A and B are shown apart, each in its own frame.
Chain A
C-alpha cells in the first residue's frame, strides 16, 4: 500500500529506505520537494504534503537529528499512517540507540541499518489494526443520555414558546419510542411534531399572539396554551435558581487574605529574597508547597539546569505563547505568527538541551534562526546582472509593479529608474495606469527630473529615460505590449511598467492585471507592499497570487516574483510585515523603500530585521 518509506539524517545521508512493490520511480525527487517547501520554509505545522500524485507524511526526530518520511498515493486514504510512523520511529530509536547517540557522521556512514524485518512486522500490525476496527454501530435511543432526562430538567423558564418546543421534543421522543402505535396516536403526534409557527393554523397563531400580548400587559407568567393537544405539563414555579455544577456556593474560597493559597503566600513572602537568587527561589517554592510532586519537580528543575533534559510540548508552551504575542505586537500577521510558532515547536520537540541553557533561550534561538531563514532569498537576487544578461540577448528586461492603492508604486518606480540610470542603463517607463487622475503626468514629471539629472549629452544625445504613454482610459495590457515592442526596437535596456492600484477583492481589475502579466510575460513581477500593513498583507498576497494563477492560460503561471517593501522609514522596529510577506509567497524582498527622495532605495539585511524583530 505504501509507495516508499525513508529514514535519513538531517545531514542528508539516507540510513534506510523501503520501496513498495511495483514502484519504479525514485523517491528522491518528492522527498527533496518536501524538504524544500515544508521544512525549510517553516511550514512544518501540519505534517502532510502532497506532490503530484503522491501524498507524503513525515516526522522529525530532533534528538538524533533524523527525518522519517512515508509516501503513498493520494487517492488512497490510509488511516494507520500517523500511528505507523510513530511506531517506526520509536522502534528504530530503541534498536539503533548506540549508533545514533555517537556524535559525528562517521557512525551513520559506517553502520548498516538492517531494518527490513522490523519494518515489515510493524507494517503488518498497522494494516491489521486498521482492518480490525469495524464500522461503529449507532446507539439506540434507549442507550443514549437523552432518554434518561425528564422533561422538567429540560425546561427553560423563559416563556410559552420554549415550553412548547420542549413539549414538541418530548412528543418526538414519544413517537420514536412507540413505533408500532395506532394511527390516531401517530397522527396526533405528527400534529404536535410540526410545532412551531409553521405548523399551526391561522387561528392558533392568533391565539398565541393574543396570549403574548396579554402577558406583556400583565407582566405575569403566562399559562400554557390549552389549545395545543400535547399533554399538559406542570406549571413552572417561577424562576428557579440555576445551579452550576462546578461553581462553589460559598464565597469563603475566594478570600485570600489569610494564608489560604500556599504557593501565592510563599512567593509573596520570599519575593524579596527570590529576586536576588533565582535558584534559591526555586528551592523555596518547592519546599514550601506541599505538592506531591515537589521533589520530582525540584529534581526536574535541577536536571534542566545541568543538561540532558529533553524539550516537551508543555515546556515550550508558555515560551511560545509569549513569543507569539511578541511577534504579533511587532506587526507580524496573526496566523503567520502562530504557524511559525507551531513550526518551531515541531523542530524542537524532543531535542536535548545543552548545559546551562534555559528553555526560553533555546526557543528564542530557534525562532531567530527560522526568521533569518525565511528572510534569506531562495534564489539569486541581482537585478543588474540580469539586466546585463538581457542586454546581451538583445531584449529589454521588463519589470512590472502591482499592488493595492496608495502603497508607493509610482514613487518607487522612479527610485528604481534613478538607480538604474546611475548604473548606465537606458530606461523606458510604460504608463499603464490609465485610470488614476494625474498618473501619466506624475510619470512625465519624474522623467523630466531624471533626464535633467543625467542630461542626454552624456549618453550620445539620447535621453536616458523615456515615457511611453497613451493617455487615459485605454487598455493597460495593450499599452504594455506596445511599450515592450518599442523598447525592443529602440534598444532600451529596461522597461518599467506602472499599473493602477487595485483592491484584491475587485475581480474585474484583478482579471485585467492577470491578463496584462500573462500576455506580456515580464521578466520580473514585483508586488509593492507597504511596511505598515498588518494582517491585510496575508489577504492581499494570497488573492493577488490566486488571480494571477487562475487567469493565466499556461500551466506554468507567472506568479509574484519579488516584493518591494515601501515606507520602511515610518515603522521603527515593528518590521513584522516583512516576515508576513516573505512567508506567504516564499519570494524575496528585492527592494526596500526608506523615504520619498530618489536616493531612498535599499536592499534588505535579514539579520538586522530579525534583530529588530526579536528585540524586546
Chain B
C-alpha cells in the first residue's frame, strides 16, 4: 500500500509538468513541432556523417616518397606523375599531387614528396606519417656502401615510430640510380640493411634519454633473440630496383616499371 502511495506521489510530482508540456505542444502549430524534430534529426545525422568522413580521410590516402638527401626522390616524383625528366635541386618543402595508379580500378591517391635533408626530415615525417598508406623509401644504390648507417638509421626511425607501427603502411624500398654501373642490387641492399638494423636495435635502445625525461619509442623491431629480418615486420616490405634517370639519359624513358607495378597493387 505504501509503495503504491509513493509511486503515485512520484507520478503526481511530474504529472502537472507533463500535463503542462502536453498542453503547450498541442497549442503550437504541428508544423512547428515537425520542424524542430527534423532539425534535430539533421544535426544528429550530420554529426554521424562528419565523424565517418573525417575518420576515413585521415586513414591512409597518401603515399610518401622518403629517403636521404640526393637519393632521387624529386626526379622519381616527376617521372611517376608526368613521365618527364626535370632538373632538380635540394627540396626545401614537400610537394604533393594526385596520382592515378596503373591498374584496372584506376584508383587515385596522393603522392607526396618529402625533403630528404637531415634538418627537415623529422618535422615533415611528423606531419605526414599518420596519413600514409604506403611509404616508398628511396635509396641511392650507387653510394649505398658509404651511407649504409645513415640509411639504416632513417629506416629504423621510420619503423619504430608509433604512428607507423600502429597504421602499418606497406613499405617499398626502391633502390634508385640503377643506371650507374656501380649500383648495388636490391638483394645486397636488403642483406646489408638487415645486418645494420640488427646492430641498431642494440645501440638505439642503449641511447640516452632526452633531457625532459621523455624516452624514445619502445617499439622493438622483429623478434627478440633472433637476427633481424624484414619478413619479421608486421607490414608488407618489398625491395625493388628502379632508375629515375633511365638508361638513355635525360631524353629517354625512366626505368620504373617495377615501381609502378607495386604502386598499382596497393
Binds B, one of A79-87, A322-330, A351-359, A371-379: A371-379
With known contacts A104-B97, A423-B206, A605-B210, A385–B91 Cβ distance under 8 A: no
Query: Is the Cβ of B123 less than 8 Å from the Cβ of A372?
Result: yes
Residue of A nearest to B83 (CB): A109
Query: Is the Cβ of A384 less than 8 Å from the Cβ of B87?
Result: no
Instruction: Give the residues in chain A near B88, CB-CB below 8 Å.
Output: 8, 12-14
Query: Is the Cβ of A379 less than 8 Å from the Cβ of B207?
Result: no
Is A35 at the interface (CB under 8 A from chain B)? yes
Instruction: Give the residues in chain B near A156, CB-CB below 8 Å.
Output: none
Is A106 at the interface (CB under 8 A from chain B)? yes
Q: Once bound together, how far apart are the Cα atoms of A377 and B119, in whole Å?
A: 6
Instruction: Give the residues in chain A near B113, CB-CB below 8 Å.
Output: 11-12, 105
Instruction: Give the residues in chain A near B13, CB-CB below 8 Å.
Output: none
Which of B87, B95, B200 lies in contact with A105, CB distance below 8 A? B95
* Contact residues, B102-131 vs A (CB, 8 A): 113, 115, 117-123
Q: Once bound together, how far apart are the Cα atoms of A379 and B90, in whole Å?
A: 16
Instruction: Give the residues in chain B near A109, CB-CB below 8 Å.
Output: 78, 81-82, 84, 86, 97
Query: Is the Cβ of A40 less than 8 Å from the Cβ of B92?
Result: yes
Binary A-proximity of B126-138 (CB < 8 A = 1, otherwise 0): 0000000000000
Which of B89, B97, B150, B209 lies in contact with A12, CB distance below 8 A? B89
With known contacts A109-B78, A384-B203, A419-B208, A28–B96 Cβ distance under 8 A: no
Instruction: Give the residues in chain B near A9, CB-CB below 8 Å.
Output: 95
Is A51 at the interface (CB under 8 A from chain B)? no
Query: Is the Cβ of A28 less than 8 Å from the Cβ of B203?
Result: no
Query: Is the Cβ of A10 less than 8 Å from the Cβ of B86?
Result: no
With known contacts A109-B82, A376-B122, A14–B87 Cβ distance under 8 A: yes
With known contacts A106-B97, A373-B123, A379-B118, A17–B87 Cβ distance under 8 A: yes
Is A486 at the interface (CB under 8 A from chain B)? no
Is B98 at the interface (CB under 8 A from chain A)? yes
Is A568 at the interface (CB under 8 A from chain B)? yes
Query: Is the Cβ of A35 less than 8 Å from the Cβ of B89?
Result: yes
Instruction: Give the residues in chain B near A385, CB-CB below 8 Å.
Output: 149, 153, 199-200, 203
Q: Once bound together, how far apart are the Cα atoms of A379 and B117, in whole Å?
A: 9
Is B94 at the interface (CB under 8 A from chain A)? yes
Which of A65, A378, A592 lies in contact with B93, CB distance below 8 A? A65
Q: Once bound together, how far apart are the Cα atoms of A377 and B153, in whole Å?
A: 13
User: Which DSSP category, helix, strand, loop or mixed, fits chain A's interface?
Assistant: mixed
Query: Is the Cβ of B118 less than 8 Å from the Cβ of A377?
Result: yes
Query: In this complex, which of B153, B211, B212 has the most chain A Cβ atoms within 10 angstroms of its Cβ?
Result: B211
Instruction: Give the residues in chain A near B4, CB-CB below 8 Å.
Output: none
Is A602 at the interface (CB under 8 A from chain B)? yes
A500 to chain B, nearest CB (A): 27
A589 to chain B, nearest CB (A): 10
Is A262 at the interface (CB under 8 A from chain B)? no
With known contacts A13-B86, A373-B120, A603–B207 Cβ distance under 8 A: yes
Is B71 at the interface (CB under 8 A from chain A)? no
B140 to chain A, nearest CB (A): 14
Residue of A nearest to B82 (CB): A109
Q: Once bound together, how far apart are the Cα atoms of A301 and B93, in whole Å?
A: 30
Q: Once bound together, how far apart are the Cα atoms of A104 and B96, in whole Å?
A: 6
Query: Is the Cβ of B92 less than 8 Å from the Cβ of A35?
Result: yes
Is A142 at the interface (CB under 8 A from chain B)? no
Is B77 at the interface (CB under 8 A from chain A)? yes
* Contact residues, A15-43 vs B (CB, 8 A): 17, 28, 31-32, 35-36, 39-40
Q: Once bound together, how far apart are the Cα atoms of A376 and B88, in whole Å?
A: 24
Q: Once bound together, how far apart are the Cα atoms of A376 and B115, in whole Å?
A: 14
A208 to chain B, nearest CB (A): 69
Query: Is the Cβ of B90 less than 8 Å from the Cβ of A604?
Result: no
Instruction: Give the residues in chain A near B74, CB-CB below 8 Å.
Output: 11-13
Q: Give the size of the chain B interface in residues (CB under 8 angstroms).
A: 44
Query: Is the Cβ of B86 less than 8 Å from the Cβ of A603?
Result: no
Which of A6, A372, A382, A604 lies in contact with B203, CB distance below 8 A? A382
Is B218 at the interface (CB under 8 A from chain A)? no
Query: Is the Cβ of B78 less than 8 Å from the Cβ of A13?
Result: yes
Is A388 at the interface (CB under 8 A from chain B)? yes
Residue of B nearest to A591 (CB): B208
Which of A31, A32, A36, A384 lies in contact with B207, CB distance below 8 A? A384
With known contacts A12-B74, A105-B77, A602–B209 Cβ distance under 8 A: yes
- Contact count band on A: 35 or more
Q: Once bound together, how far apart are the Cα atoms of A125 and B72, in whole Å?
A: 38
Instruction: Give the residues in chain B near A382, CB-CB below 8 Å.
Output: 149, 153, 203-204, 207
Which of A36, A105, A604 lies in contact with B96, CB distance below 8 A? A105
Query: Is the Cβ of B212 less than 8 Å from the Cβ of A39?
Result: no
Q: Once bound together, how far apart are the Cα atoms of A355 and B88, in whole Å?
A: 32
Q: Once bound together, how far apart are the Cα atoms of A370 and B81, in whole Å?
A: 31
Query: Is the Cβ of B78 less than 8 Å from the Cβ of A608?
Result: no
With known contacts A603-B211, A608-B211, A11–B118 Cβ distance under 8 A: no
Residue of A nearest to B204 (CB): A382
Is A369 at the interface (CB under 8 A from chain B)? yes
With known contacts A40-B119, A385-B199, A14–B89 Cβ distance under 8 A: yes
Q: Once bound together, how far apart are the Cα atoms of A422 and B203, in whole Å?
A: 12
Instruction: Give the residues in chain B near A608, CB-CB below 8 Å.
Output: 210-212, 214
Q: Once bound together, how far apart are the Cα atoms of A249 and B208, in whole Å?
A: 70
Instruction: Give the residues in chain A near B82, CB-CB below 8 Å.
Output: 106, 109-110
Residue of B nearest to A65 (CB): B93
Query: Is the Cβ of A604 less than 8 Å from the Cβ of B211?
Result: yes
Instruction: Give the residues in chain A near B90, CB-CB below 8 Å.
Output: 12, 32, 35-36
Instruction: Give the residues in chain A near B149, CB-CB below 8 Å.
Output: 380, 382, 385, 389
Instruction: Give the residues in chain B near A380, CB-CB below 8 Å.
Output: 118, 149-150, 153
With known contacts A419-B208, A603-B210, A11–B119 Cβ distance under 8 A: no
Which of B91, B117, B209 lies in contact with A603, CB distance below 8 A? B209
Residue of B nearest to A389 (CB): B149
Q: Once bound together, how far apart are the Cα atoms of A376 and B157, in whole Å?
A: 14
Instruction: Give the residues in chain A near B78, CB-CB below 8 Å.
Output: 13, 109
B194 to chain A, nearest CB (A): 16
Q: Once bound together, how far apart are the Cα atoms of A382 and B200, in whole Å?
A: 9
Instruction: Give the residues in chain A near B203, CB-CB below 8 Å.
Output: 382, 384-385, 388
Which of A10, A17, A372, A568 lies in contact with B211, CB distance below 8 A? A568
Residue of B nearest to A108 (CB): B95
Which of B86, B121, B208, B209 lies in contact with A14, CB distance below 8 A? B86
Instruction: Give the residues in chain A near B210, CB-CB below 8 Å.
Output: 602-605, 608
Task: Identify 20 residue pairs between A and B in the complex whose beta-carbon atoms are under 8 Å apart, listed by A's number.
Answer: A12-B89, A12-B95, A14-B86, A31-B89, A39-B92, A67-B92, A105-B81, A105-B96, A105-B97, A109-B78, A109-B97, A110-B82, A374-B119, A376-B120, A376-B121, A378-B118, A380-B118, A385-B149, A389-B149, A605-B214
Contacts A377-B118, A605-B214 supplied; 4 other A-B pairs, CB < 8 Å? A109-B86, A376-B121, A376-B123, A382-B203
Q: Which A residues contact B (CB, under 8 angstroms)?
A: 6, 8-14, 17, 28, 31-32, 35-36, 39-40, 65, 67, 104-106, 109-110, 369, 372-374, 376-380, 382, 384-385, 388-389, 419, 422-423, 568, 591-592, 594, 601-606, 608-609
Complex A-B, nearest 9 residue pairs according to Cβ-Cβ distance, in ascending order: A11-B95, A12-B91, A605-B210, A14-B87, A384-B203, A12-B74, A105-B95, A602-B211, A376-B119
